[in-house]
Chain A
Amino acid sequence: MTSRLLLSLLLVASLLLVGCSEDEPPITVSLEKRQEISIQPRQPAITYAYLPQYSHTESFQRHHQLVEYLSEATGLPVRQVFPDTFDHHLSMFGQGEIDVSFSNPFIYVKLANRYGARAMARIIEKNGRAEFRGQIIARRDNDRITSLADCRGKSWVAVDPSSAGGYLFPLGHFFDHGLRLDDFREVVFAGGRQENVILGVYAGLHDIGSIREGSLQVVAGKIDLGQLKVIDHSPWYPGWVYAHSPRLSADTVDLIRNALLALDYQNNAQHRAILDAANFIGFVPSDDQDFDRIRTLSQKVGLNLD
């Protein structure tokens, strides 16, 4: 009798214990003790901006190692800043909020013309060329578009009016093949984001899209690239360029240029990792004359560079 009673009590106790499990002990915190907090001003540094052709996150992931390298290699504090748009990039450069600009040649020409920016180096694309070109894409199942001529009367989505590979180069290419802006049913811009152009075409919102070559790989894991086709490529133009503000001293510019040119993709694994993240493999020295072809193209298609 006693053992059976004890067993019953243990069973009841176990059930009660199941129903009475307790949380972890709380930490006593006062929400009443308040203090006004002011944001600490940032330390002075050389600001580095990547033309926002991708999201800030992508921009950060591509360039923060390079930024850290420059800071370490030059001994100067370097901080990446993130303009929201191409125009924002231009205005920030003009306002002195960007000391080192990494932009497409079209923007560079604008920066040079407007704010006296000067080229330091051009990047070498993964294809080994210090040039790049634009691509005109469409959905693979869109049988109405198989050539440039088929693009007439279609909806065109471009990256940005200031985009080189994503707008200027394809526009020049259309010009060369007799197509003017009026020949398209509409021309819309994707806010400077290459991905938005690709996704707009992929979703069927637009008939064709113009992007810089290589952008399709950025969205390779997000969409089925087999659903897209490349209609045509633009001619090759000078590639993306590092330019400095005229406010920087010549020594500082040299330090930065030398640091960039010192990156060795072939022989230095650390440098290779930095350049892989940035999606190019090296630098070549560059100056302002390298971009006269851009200026010519702009004039041809009627774009204002000032």
Chain B
Amino acid sequence: MISDLTRFLHNLRFRTKITLGMTCMLVFCGIGIGLTLSSMSSEALLEEGKKRGKAMTTGLAFRLTEPLLAMDFLQMSNLLDNAQRQYDDILYVFLTDAGANVLSHTFAGGFPTDLLRISDTRSEGRPLLLDTEQGRVYDFSAPITLGNNTLGTVRLGLSRSAIDAQIKRQQMASLVSTLAVVGVGVMLSLWFARTITHRLNRLRSSVEEIVTGNLDVHAGTTLAKYCWQIMNCHRQECPAYGDKQRRCWYLAGTLCPNCQVGEYPFKMESCRQCPVFRHNFGDELQDLAEAFDAMAVTVKNHIEELTERERTIARQQGILKTIVNVTPDFITLQDRDLRYTFAGKSFCDYFGLTEADVIGKNDFAIFSETRARSNTEEDREILATGKPLAKEVSIKRAGEHHWFHVVKVPVHDQDGSIMGILLTARDITMLKKFQEQLIQSQKLEDLGRLAGGVAHEINTPLGIILGYTQLLMDDIHDQELLDGLKTIEKQTKVCRKIVADLLGYSRQSQSVVGEVAINESLQEVINLVEHAFFLNRIKVVFLPDTAVTTLHGDKERLRQVWLNLLNNAADAIGQDGLIIVRSRLLPDTQRLEVSVADTGKGVAQHHLGKLFDPFFTTKQVGKGTGLGLSVSIGIIKDHGGTITALSPPPPPFFPDDLPKPKNGGPGTVFIVELPQTRSTETVSPPSISTT
């Protein structure tokens, strides 16, 4: 019930609430005051009646003293009768002597004996309230005394109904006047509520406009007299002159001579002394409305500033986010509790996580316990000492080892305290490989230089040994000695071949540069080895591309490359196999490609990268020196080309229409890519010329 009433009152309009509230207060106060005043006046009337009865009784007692002493019954009776006739509300008067004998009374037809039997418990001067057949009666009693002697008693009966009637008239008058005052008050409250709510509605409308996005509101009342009219200045360049909706003290930059520089409310101290303020300032609601208008304008300006700042920040955030997401480096930010507050996209992608998996977590929730513990110890050290950390770590993930250069720096707050740790990590795996290759290249260069030097020094004695051996063979006819010399000649030639290869590897052999027809060069070499391969049932198929013409290079050295590749293919096959030699013009790059594919045993993947290293061979001991491919890659590099090896060969290099031997291996293909035309200058001259 109470809740329903509360809801009902809550749902009333404010104007109704004000009217209802003020009406209730007026009624409440009116009734309260009316009842109080009525009660007080009733009490006063009652007291007045009692005082009147007491006064009459006392006066009568005084006047009866002499007749009582003289026992003048006529005078007694006259006094009593006169007293009763004087007022209509006096019902009776009677006089008793000291012995309570009735000496005189105003009753006609006997004396009511009950009046003498009343137990007189009244206090001094207070009447007894009697309930008689003629209504309620105040019975007053006054003794007739002289000195200490009581001569008799006068009693007077005053009708209460006359007093009650007077009280009722007064109460009715109070009620009517109260209702009249309340009625007038209600009318005034209606007018007051309408005045208040009208202005509040203006405010509410302004608020609704603001909620819908319109900040150009005007909740205050229009000025009756503008400031320039009051000040008689007519300065149209003043902002207050152009703004007719707001009071001038809400505007900054007004041109009044006494106006302080600044904005509302900082300029109010001077404005309060201004005649414009004294003329135009309003009540609290007016102040509220004007302050509201000023607030709307201020908010509008601030919103515009904020919008512009937001755009700038969003733009910068977008750039920053793009940079952070695009950069391959890992970027993370941890707070003092080592929980991640930011993680870059590269970091998340590398570890297969989403941003939600990382933000708010620590290392133990992301990494293995061992790594997390290690990271946490490092991080705590950084938080404790404030010293950055840089290190290189190797992380194995998805079967691959990656090297990262990790930098951890403490992030300081504005007060200088450390608020977290910024981690950046860059994948330096390629750099590591390049470093290894650089070291390897340096080793090979040193080795080649050493080998070249040694070969150059050994080549001459070997020529002398071979020359003298051949001279001896001409002079010696002993077959046994001759066989021995032949063996020396053969092994010496083998040594020369090795020395020649070493010189070739070190590019210290003689170079003859000219136009080389690639297909013809290939065919010549195939013709050279075809018969020997045939003996081991190895078939060589040549697929020349007629678009391949010539290139500028060293014919002999290129033939050495082709021969080396064919020999390697035959060695990989052993017996019963197929070698496919193909030339092809790469149309996009205007480079030509020579590939030699075999059906041999193939090359393991982890050996593919080492095939071109000097002295690396997969052949049995004594079957190869490991210098062939090293020399070949050197020759091809000198011609501006590259050699790559793939095992097994992809389909384009081994057409499906060609029959593959039944017991063949996965096979390998060496692909030589050369520029089709090449200037002479691009061919590197031998660093060491042969002698």
Chain B residues near A220: list those with CB within 8 A.
Answer: none
A64 and B149 in contact, given A33-B114, A55-B66, A57-B69 (Cβ under 8 angstroms): yes
Q: Check if A31 sits within 8 Å of B39, measured CB to CB.
A: no
Q: Flag A30-59 by CB within 8 Å of B: 1 or 0 each.
A: 111111110110000000000000011101
Point out the residue from B2, B39, B65, B137 that lies within 8 Å of A57, measured CB to CB. B65
Interface hit among B29-37, B488-496, B526-534: B29-37
Q: Size band of the B side of the interface?
A: 35 or more
Chain B residues near A12: list those with CB within 8 A.
Answer: 28
Point out the residue from B71, B91, B109, B129 that lies within 8 Å of A34, measured CB to CB. B109
A35 and B130 in contact, given A56-B65, A57-B69, A60-B69 (Cβ under 8 angstroms): no
- Complex CA gap A1/B70 in Å reads 76
Question: From A58, which residue of chain B is reached at the shortest CB distance?
Answer: B146
A226 touches B (CB below 8 Å)? no
Point out the residue from A25, A39, A60, A61 that lies within 8 Å of B103, measured CB to CB. A39
Q: Check if A33 sits within 8 Å of B2, measured CB to CB.
A: no
A residues 105-137 touching B (CB-CB < 8 Å) = none
Question: From B111, which residue of chain A is reached at the shortest CB distance?
Answer: A37
Q: Check if B130 sits within 8 Å of A34, measured CB to CB.
A: no
Q: Check if A26 sits within 8 Å of B146, measured CB to CB.
A: no
Q: Check if A31 sits within 8 Å of B103, measured CB to CB.
A: no
A residues 239-261 touching B (CB-CB < 8 Å) = none
Closest 6 A/B residue pairs (Cβ): A34-B110, A19-B35, A26-B131, A56-B69, A26-B129, A82-B70
Point out the residue from B71, B102, B133 that lies within 8 Å of A31, measured CB to CB. B133
- Complex CA gap A33/B113 in Å reads 7
A21 and B149 in contact, given A34-B111, A35-B113 (Cβ under 8 angstroms): no
Q: Check if A29 sits within 8 Å of B110, measured CB to CB.
A: no
Point out the residue from B2, B71, B112 that lies within 8 Å of A1, measured CB to CB. B2
Chain B residues near A203: list those with CB within 8 A.
Answer: none
Question: Can you show 27 pairs from A to B with CB atoms below 8 A apart?
Answer: A5-B2, A19-B38, A21-B43, A26-B130, A29-B115, A29-B130, A29-B131, A29-B132, A29-B137, A30-B114, A30-B132, A31-B134, A33-B113, A34-B113, A35-B112, A36-B110, A39-B73, A39-B101, A40-B99, A55-B66, A56-B69, A60-B146, A60-B149, A61-B146, A64-B146, A81-B71, A82-B69
Question: From B115, which residue of chain A is reached at the shortest CB distance?
Answer: A29
Q: Check if A30 sits within 8 Å of B133, measured CB to CB.
A: yes
A residues 144-170 touching B (CB-CB < 8 Å) = none
A28 touches B (CB below 8 Å)? yes
Chain B residues near A11: list those with CB within 8 A.
Answer: 32
Chain B residues near A19: list those with CB within 8 A.
Answer: 35-36, 38-39
- Taking the closest CB of chain A, its distance from the CB of B220, in whole angstroms, is 36
Q: Flag A57-82 by CB within 8 Å of B: 1 or 0 each.
A: 10111001000000000000000011
Q: What is the count of residue pairs linking A and B with beta-carbon distances less than 8 angstroms?
A: 112
- Complex CA gap A170/B73 in Å reads 37
Point out the residue from B43, B112, B128 that lies within 8 Å of A32, measured CB to CB. B112
B655 touches A (CB below 8 Å)? no
- Complex CA gap A2/B129 in Å reads 43
**Other A-B pairs, 15, CB within 8 Å; known A23-B46, A34-B109:** A15-B32, A21-B43, A23-B129, A24-B129, A27-B118, A27-B129, A31-B115, A32-B112, A33-B112, A33-B113, A34-B107, A37-B110, A61-B146, A64-B149, A82-B66
- Taking the closest CB of chain B, its distance from the CB of A70, in whole angstroms, is 16
A269 touches B (CB below 8 Å)? no
- Complex CA gap A237/B641 in Å reads 186
A84 touches B (CB below 8 Å)? yes
B202 touches A (CB below 8 Å)? no
Question: From A277, which residue of chain B is reached at the shortest CB distance?
Answer: B147
B339 touches A (CB below 8 Å)? no
- Complex CA gap A18/B38 in Å reads 9
Q: Check if A15 sits within 8 Å of B31, measured CB to CB.
A: yes
B136 touches A (CB below 8 Å)? yes
A18 and B36 in contact, given A29-B112, A29-B118, A64-B149 (Cβ under 8 angstroms): yes
Best-surrounded residue of A2, A18, A27, A59 (most CB of chain B within 10 A) = A27
- Complex CA gap A86/B102 in Å reads 30
